[in-house]
A and B are shown apart, each in its own frame.
Chain A
Amino acid sequence: MSTIEIFLSGAAILFTDPTALMLFAGGLVGGMLFGSIPGINMLTLGAVILPFTAAMEPTHAIMLYAVIYCAGVFGGAITAILFNIPGSPENAPTAFDGYPLAQSGQAGKAVGAAVSCSALGGLASATLMILATPLIAAWAVRAFGPPEIFALICFGLAVSASVGAQNLWRGWLSVLLGLLIATIGSDPADGVARFSFGTYYLLAGIHFIPLILGMFAVAEVFAQGEKLLAGSQGRIKVGLDFPSFAEFWRVRFTVLRSMVVGFFAGILPGIGATLAAFLSYNEAVRWSKTPEKFGKGELSGVVASETANNAATGAAMIPLLALGLPGGALTAMMIGVFQIHGMEPGPLVFITSPDLVGVTFAAMFFANLCIFGLGWLQTKTVVHLLRIPFPLLAPAILLIATIGSFAVRNLTVDIWVMYIAGIAAFLLRRTGYSVAGIVLGLILGRLGESSFTKSMQLLDYDIFALFTRPIAAILLIVAIATVGFNLYKEVQTSKRPLKAALEQ
């Protein structure tokens, strides 16, 4: 049976089985809800329902997780855009431009773009998953080893300095600060404690969720609070306009590029939707004719992030179903579901359980279609929350962020980390440093170091051997060229005021 036939039979089962339909709807709403609440993300939902899947049919259980995955990745975009609170780490780059857009009265446009692009990215990814699961999985897992992943991270980092900072140097210092924070904890090779000051808490590193909540939500409350006290805080105009066709047409290449980036990032084990969103955002900046607009309310930023993170969902299912390799935390839970039912994911699943594969394919495809409908409804309703005056909204934002950071590990120290990060981000923003750069460095740094360590062990500590691998070489050369070009541009820009002064 071809994968298309498997998909069609899966769709037939999904729409004729009331239990499957009920679980589909529950997963969709639950995923969106959990995805939008920081700290209580889709992983919490996945973990909570894991024991109950034993009572379900394996087809239902895997389908439920697939729907939660699609809906959960999208859910956090709404809070990221409206309140600068990314519901999940994969929505953090959405806030870089989504929130400034909302602040400038274009919340409807930002949410509309997020909804449409999440659905588009997810649909494209699901379609590719249906068409080419066994083929792509085998290639990607063989072709991308640690050197290629390290090169991919360098490729992503090369452009991150130009996001949101006052100048290139501040951008680089922001990214480097993020990379340095990422080294706190245990080293990836031997688990040696670094910058842990002898505390047990820091051995596991600083958790990402309290940091992003602090840097985005808390810092924003402080910044708005300062404006309010200074009397310079104007009322936000609430725009409900959906992006026009012309606006979508303008970002068509960003959508296509983000689909590709998201898809390939999703396939690679350990990369997943979060890195897909960051890498895609960086690519949008790299290819833009106006990169300076990113971080200040550029629609392409929202489009890039949301297309890619949803494009990664279908892709992440490919190595899981075809090779039995989980790409991230939620797909790892799916392995648990398989094991609870005495099954092993891998190539044999296509032969032994075609119904399971078919229903999963169909559920992911239709979940992304539903995101479009439900998301459109959200655009017209949830955006009105912005009409609430800021002084009344601020304590609620702080409270949700506080609970969100506490709920991750039930540690009060995570709340301290969040507020300290908030104060630091508030001060860094005032001095022209980029919070987006710090977060990019932080998220790419951990995987970057781990893949570099493995690469060096693999290549006998010869750093130049990275250039002997074609994919890694291409990515590194483009990264070096990007850094060189940005430096040249910065030097030229810095000469201008000097020249103008001398001419006067």
Chain B
Amino acid sequence: MSASPQAKGIWIELVVWLGLTLVAFVLTFQFSAEVGSYAWGAASWPRAIILMMALGAVVQCLFRLRQASGAPAAAGKKAAALPIKLLLVFGVPLLYVFLLPRTGFYVTTPFFLLAYLMVLGERRPKVLIGVSLLIYVLINLLFSVLFFVALPTGTWPGFYDFSNWLVSLLQ
């Protein structure tokens, strides 16, 4: 007899929590040696939290299983599948952060703005260019000119020189 999708979800959640607590508990042995001024050592507090987490996860699982078995079978709320577009909602900012220290804020940002507007469904060229430009100029005025925030200028050859030239122009 196969478990219902609801029960399966509850078990998966328990496994995730117990996995997390197990990994964290194992890691506490790296700093469990006795220390000078505190008799209970550096690991006691995190271990107490880990223990409570494991306990909480088990109790939650038991409660939810009890509720699931007692309640009439739910109409099975279908888990929303993550569309590829949603992955872009996460992915484009991550790519931006990856490029930021390499190609610099000043070069990467306009492309990020354009790309993210497109990911969110904007297709009108005038709006794409206009909004990207407006945000870019305002952000630069605020952070580079007014607050002198040192933003990444990039490490790749060419990008670094260009960013520094732009910064000196702005300031």
Contact = CB atoms under 8 A, between A and B. Distances in A.
Interface in B38-89: 38-40, 42-43, 45-46, 49-50, 52-53, 56-57, 59-60, 63, 66-67, 70-72, 80, 83, 85-86, 89
The secondary-structure label for the interface of chain A is: helix
A453 B85 contact: no
Interface residues of B, number: 64
A412 B101 contact: yes
B97 interface: yes
Interface in A385-429: 390-392, 394-396, 398-400, 402-403, 406-407, 410, 412, 415-416, 419, 423
Given A169-B63, A395-B131, A402-B97, 17 more contacts: A40-B147, A44-B147, A169-B60, A189-B38, A190-B35, A192-B31, A192-B35, A195-B24, A229-B89, A412-B97, A412-B101, A456-B40, A457-B37, A461-B40, A494-B67, A498-B66, A501-B72
A193 B122 CA distance: 47
A502 interface: yes
A218 B93 CA distance: 10
B138 to A, nearest CB: 8
A467 interface: no
B3 interface: no
Interface stretch (A58-66, A119-127, A176-184, A317-325): A176-184
Shortest 3 CB-CB contacts between residues of A and residues of B: A498-B70, A169-B60, A189-B38
A501 B71 CA distance: 5
Interface string A45-73: 00000000000000000000000000000
B71 A399 contact: no
9 contacts: A169-B60, A187-B35, A190-B38, A192-B31, A194-B43, A229-B86, A412-B152, A457-B37, A461-B40
A292 interface: no
B11 interface: no
Nearest to B24: A180
B101 to A, nearest CB: 5
B54 to A, nearest CB: 10
Contacts of A332: none
Contact of A193 (B31, B59, B112, B147): B31
B46 A183 contact: yes
